[in-house]
Amino acid sequence: TQLLEQSPQFLSIQEGENLTVYCNSSSVFSSLQWYRQEPGEGPVLLVTVVTGGEVKKLKRLTFQFGDARKDSSLHITAAQPGDTGLYLCAGVGYGQNFVFGPGTRLSVLP
Amino acid sequence: DVKVTQSSRYLVKRTGEKVFLECVQDMDHENMFWYRQDPGLGLRLIYFSYDVKMKEKGDIPEGYSVSREKKERFSLILESASTNQTSMYLCASSFGAGGLYEQYFGPGTRLTVT
């Protein structure tokens, strides 16, 4: 069974700070997705990374896929209250099924 | 604007009741999924469907069944609800299979079984 771990589980920071959250596995994935989920809503896709070592930027968010395709990180620069939410990583195995991590709950205080 | 809707946002049922959760998507997607979300466990796949009348078990199908009679509609059925099925249930759809395709999620149904 493929498992994804995310750290930290909870993160509370002040507006303007930088942060990094991590998604780790002992399994290799064909691709990895990051979603953000706001209270009372379903997750919304932020990015998909496919190639080992790939870096993608989405405004203040930077996503990296590990060289070995087993881990990923999400870095947020100058966090804002609108970044508050649950960040989920989802790995896609070669069997095409998604495996979701437990999430990092981020709170950005004004 | 793409949309996945779920029949109820909140539902309270008694142990032993039969429960139906409905999901409708308006994007003509082939694939539909049912997950449950529990704190600290992330999303766990219950069942998915790649076509009308087709279904595949996910990681935790026990105690659940599904029905897909029309392309846009995917129903999750709890034959006899139990307290350990209290959870947030999320439906999703996607155009293709695998990780290159975005999953679009509904807002979720928070089910409480008493």
pLDDT of residue B46: 96
pLDDT of residue A3: 84
Name which of A35, A100, A105 to mutate to probe chain B: the one with the most chain B Cβ atoms within 10 A of its Cβ: A100
Residue B23 has pLDDT above 80, yes or no: yes
- Closest residue on chain A to B4 (Cα): A42
Do B102 and A45 count as a contact with CB atoms less than 8 A apart?
yes
Rg of chain B in Å (alpha carbons): 13
Do B40 and A44 count as a contact with CB atoms less than 8 A apart?
no
Chain A contact present for B78, CB below 8 A:
no
Instruction: Count the Cβ atoms, other than its own, within 10 Å of residue B26.
Output: 12
pLDDT of residue B95: 80
Q: How far is A47 from chain B (nearest CA, A)?
A: 9
- Structure confidence by residue, pLDDT tens digits, B62-100: 999 999 999 999 999 999 999 999 999 999 998 876 666
pLDDT of residue A92: 81
Under 8 Å CB pairs connecting chains A and B tally to 63
Distance CA B90, CA B34 (A): 6
pLDDT tens across the length of chain A (110 residues): 668 999 999 999 999 999 999 999 998 888 899 999 998 899 999 999 989 999 999 999 999 999 999 999 999 999 999 999 999 999 887 656 788 999 999 999 99
pLDDT of residue A40: 85
